[in-house]
Each structure stands twice: as structure tokens, then as C-alpha cells.
Amino acid sequence: MKTILVTGGTGLVGSAIRQVISEELTDVEIIKDYRCIFLSSKDGNLIIREDVKRIFEIYKPTYVIHLAASVGGLYKNLNNNLKMYLDNLKINQNILYFCDKYKVKKIVSCLSTCVFPNKVKYPINESMLHEGLPHSSNEGYAFAKRMLEVESRLYNNVSETKYICIIPTNVYGPNDNYSLNDGHVIPSLIHRCYLAKENGNDFVVYGSGKPLRQFIYSIDLGKLILLILDKYDDREGIILASNKEYSIKEISELICINFNYSNIVFDRSKSDGQYKKTASNEKLLKLYPEFKFTSLEEGLKETISWFIKEYPNIRR
């Protein structure tokens, strides 16, 4: 049977794609004719070229969804910019090299809105990717992801393939990394609030709470990735974002509501990072105007319910 290979298949987004398929939450045609192989770290280290070669020799994929990356929140990026750059560069180069070698027809690779310039006019659109430097707090990760877009475009220039880069806003949901120090903003805040309530302590939120972010629920992103793999015929990148922005303060308060806890303290000695990254979803909505995003309120409710149920086994 023909194969769709999903790198990072057991992570946040890979798990969401698996759920979308298993629960039949989408009607895209491609998954009826292809088997999906969800890779994990047990299948090999994508930084090592020989491991990637072996994976492609085994599965010989027709399509690839490339989600795997060395990722983390603001403070992991701040402390590991060089390593984040080098590791992600190697992963991306290996995947694209063997996609080309094994004649993969289409790749959907996942970037991040942190790739966009720090100083830019808002809202950001797809054409603005290289119009300035990214924020210094995560420049290693951001530049590696920018190079994924560059390399995908260069492959497209010399072949008939479609190497597409999607750019989702902040993703959250079940099966995330809930590390207090290295996780992204929502999973870290969820874990921090849970422990604060358990121990009767203040729920400490790093920074002022003022920065603004857009979020996308992992199940929504899973649906969109499969839709793009199946229907999207352009080679240009596309931003995947809902319309609304929330401040870190608003997110923290919504998390507190779900835990029935209210003792929030903002630690202003910690960095806020980039103030805002407002991204336009105009292109997405023109292509798929009927797509319905899960509200942050509903997504947080589902995520926190999963987190509490699975707490002994969560990634942290």
C-alpha cells in the first residue's frame, strides 16, 4: 500500500493527525488510499543521515508530513540558540535530501510564526518571511526553519515536486510537552497552574502577561495539514491561524478558570520575548472559507481535561 510518512508522529501535531484519522474527523480523500506511518524517536535519530536513509528505504513514502524538530518554549530557545539551529538544520536537510532521492511527490513541512521578522508591519503575511531578522530570543530555531523554506523552494525550482511549508501559529492540545521550563506557553502554564493548586502556592506566570499570541488547537491543525496534503496545489507557503489574539494574562486567567484557581502572580523579572506576532489568515480563508476553528475556551477545556486524566504519563 502507498505510504504517507509522518515525522514527529508521536508528538503534539502527529498525535492530532492520528486522532483525526482514527476518529474520522475529516473526509479528505487521500487517507482512504494511503497508510500513514507515524515515526517516533525509536525509529531513528533524524539528525543522523544513515538513520534517515534506513527509514526511507523501509517505507519508500509517496508523501511526507514533516513535523519533527528540536523545539521548546521561550526559555529553552534563549538558552540553546546554537544547538537549536544546528540540530534543526541537520534534521531538515536529511529529510529533504531523501525525499528528493526517493522521489516523494509532496512534502508538507511545518514552520512557526517565530520565523517572521521581529520588526515588521502587522498583520504578517506569507511574503514577509525574509524581510528582516527574527527576534533574538529564538533566532537559532527561527533561522533553521527559514532555511527549511529556502531549501524547499530550491528543490521546487529544479523538479516537479511540491515541497510546501505551512506556518501555524502557537499550537496547543493533548500530547504536548508540558515541561515547566522547556515547554511552549500554554502547556507550561497548564502544568504550572496544576502544581500551584496542588501545593497551595501562587500560580507564577513569567513576564508581564502583556504579550499577544494567536493559537491553533492541535486537532484543527491536524485537519488542515491533511486538507493541504490532499487539496493544496500551490508551492508557496501558507499561514495557518485563527483570527483572534490573546494576551498571556488572558490565557492564564482562562487556565485558572478550568482549574478553579485564582492566585496569579506575574514575575516581571522574566523576559516577555516578542510582544506580538500577528499573522494574517487571509490566504487560508480564501482557500477554505468553510473551515471552523475550535475556540480557545473549548480547546483549553479539552486539553486540561486530557492533562488531568493523563498527568502521571505526560511528557514533562
182-231 pLDDT per residue, tens? 778 999 999 999 999 999 999 999 999 999 999 999 999 999 999 999 99
Q: Return mean pLDDT, the chain.
A: 92
The three cell numbers of residue 39 are 515515526
231-273 pLDDT per residue, tens? 998 999 999 999 899 999 999 999 999 999 988 999 999 888 7
- Could you say which of 34, 141, 163, 178 is catalytic? 141
CA–CA gap between residue 18 and residue 23 (Å, rounded)? 8
pLDDT at 122 over 80: yes
CATH architecture of 3-313: 3-Layer(aba) Sandwich (3.40)
Q: Are 39 and 82 in contact (CB under 8 A)?
A: no
Q: Are 176 and 121 in contact (CB under 8 A)?
A: no
Catalytic annotation on 34? no
pTM of the complete model: 0.93
CA–CA gap between residue 220 and residue 241 (Å, rounded)? 10
Look at the block and give the residue holding cell 531513528. Answer: 44
CA–CA gap between residue 299 and residue 169 (Å, rounded)? 15
Q: Are 199 and 193 in contact (CB under 8 A)?
A: no
Check residue 118 and give its pLDDT. 86
First to last CA, the chain: 36
Q: Are 81 and 135 in contact (CB under 8 A)?
A: no
Would you give the DSSP letter of residue 177? B
CA–CA gap between residue 20 and residue 24 (Å, rounded)? 6
13-55 pLDDT per residue, tens? 999 999 999 998 888 888 888 999 999 999 999 999 999 999 9
Check residue 230 and give its pLDDT. 93
CA–CA gap between residue 226 and residue 65 (Å, rounded)? 9
59-109 pLDDT per residue, tens? 999 999 999 998 765 556 566 788 889 999 999 999 999 999 999 999 999
Look at the block and give the residue holding cell 544547538. Answer: 83
Alpha carbon 233 to chain centroid, angstroms: 22
Characterize the bridge pairing of strands 106-110 and 170-172: unpaired
CA–CA gap between residue 180 and residue 73 (Å, rounded)? 9
- Please report the beta strands in the chain, taking only residues with DSSP state E, as ranges in sequence order: 3-7, 35-38, 63-66, 106-110, 162-168, 170-172, 203-206, 212-217, 238-240, 245-247, 264-267
Q: Indicate the domain borders of the chain.
A: 3-313
Characterize the bridge pairing of strands 212-217 and 245-247: antiparallel
